[in-house]
Chains A and B, each alone.
Chain A
Amino acid sequence: DQQVKQNSPSLSVQEGRISILNCDYTNSMFDYFLWYKKYPAEGPTFLISISSIKDKNEDGRFTVFLNKSAKHLSLHIVPSQPGDSAVYFCAASATNNAGNMLTFGGGTRLMVKP
């Protein structure tokens, strides 16, 4: 039973346009959400996070939106750049867990075309 799902395995976007990556979760205990970006042969790199007390967090070209009632979050990248091409993972955690371990989605491969 996947608690975090990324239903789009891949997304192709033109340089300069907006990229929207989506993520759904089922566990209502999750209260902290993160996006990681992964290049081949490297570990995931932290991108941006959001607490469940907020519905939006912005950092430069990256904005994460959280819709708690729908158990849905999205990552917006604008404008998209070719260097953004990577696999993006959505992750969630529940702060009342002893270890605060992350539960990841399956990833979305973003390709930004010049």
Chain B
Amino acid sequence: GAGVSQTPSNKVTEKGKYVELRCDPISGHTALYWYRQSLGQGPEFLIYFQGTGAADDSGLPNDRFFAVRPEGSVSTLKIQRTERGDSAVYLCASSLTRDETQYFGPGTRLLVL
């Protein structure tokens, strides 16, 4: 079956602009996670959704970052007033429930110039 998909695969933007990154989880998966991977490091947790609600957003670095999952399926990560330090690969993962294995999408590579 289809895995987790993310769009766009690459995004180049200028400092100060707004970006939206989309995640389409595996059908039927109730748990959805966003992670960020900087060059040479492992992924770092950003936010977790159970259904439509953000159950844990403790990993969001500041209030420029926001995510939604209005219908409990597709999620959008929104970054306002982008900074060069936001450049990273943004990974989305989903799992059937919070206790099941997380399956990752291919990521969106964001470059802020």
A64 to B103 CA separation, bound complex (whole angstroms): 19
Does A99 count as interface, using CB distance less than 8 angstroms?
yes
* Residue in A44, A102, A106 whose CB lies within 8 Å of B41: A106
* Residue in A46, A49, A99 whose CB lies within 8 Å of B103: A46
Chain B residues contacting A43 (CB-CB under 8 Å) are 4, 91, 93, 104-107
Q: Pick the interface stretch among B11-19, B42-50, B70-78.
A: B42-50
Please determine whether B42 and A98 come into contact, CB atoms closer than 8 angstroms: no
Majority secondary structure, A binding face:
loop
A104 to B104 CA separation, bound complex (whole angstroms): 13
Please determine whether A99 and B42 come into contact, CB atoms closer than 8 angstroms: no
A106 to B41 CA separation, bound complex (whole angstroms): 5
Does B40 count as interface, using CB distance less than 8 angstroms?
yes
Give the contacts of A64-114 with B (CB-CB under 8 A): 89, 91, 95, 97-107
Q: Pick the interface stretch among B61-69, B80-88, B94-102.
A: B94-102
A101 to B56 CA separation, bound complex (whole angstroms): 9
Which of B33, B42, B50, B103 gathers most chain A CB within 10 Å? B42
Does A45 count as interface, using CB distance less than 8 angstroms?
yes
Does A1 count as interface, using CB distance less than 8 angstroms?
no
A91 to B41 CA separation, bound complex (whole angstroms): 12
Provide 21 A-B residue pairs closer than 8 Å at the C-beta atoms, listed in order of the A residue: A4-B42, A34-B101, A42-B107, A43-B4, A43-B106, A44-B43, A44-B104, A89-B42, A95-B99, A97-B56, A99-B33, A99-B50, A99-B56, A99-B98, A101-B45, A102-B45, A103-B45, A104-B42, A105-B42, A106-B40, A107-B41
On A, residues with C-beta under 8 Å from B are 4, 6, 34, 36, 41-46, 49, 89, 91, 95, 97-107
On B, residues with C-beta under 8 Å from A are 4, 31, 33, 35, 40-45, 48, 50, 55-56, 59, 91, 93, 98-99, 101-107
- Supply 9 further A-B pairs (C-beta < 8 A) apart from A44-B91, A45-B104: A6-B42, A42-B107, A46-B101, A91-B42, A99-B45, A102-B33, A102-B45, A103-B45, A104-B42
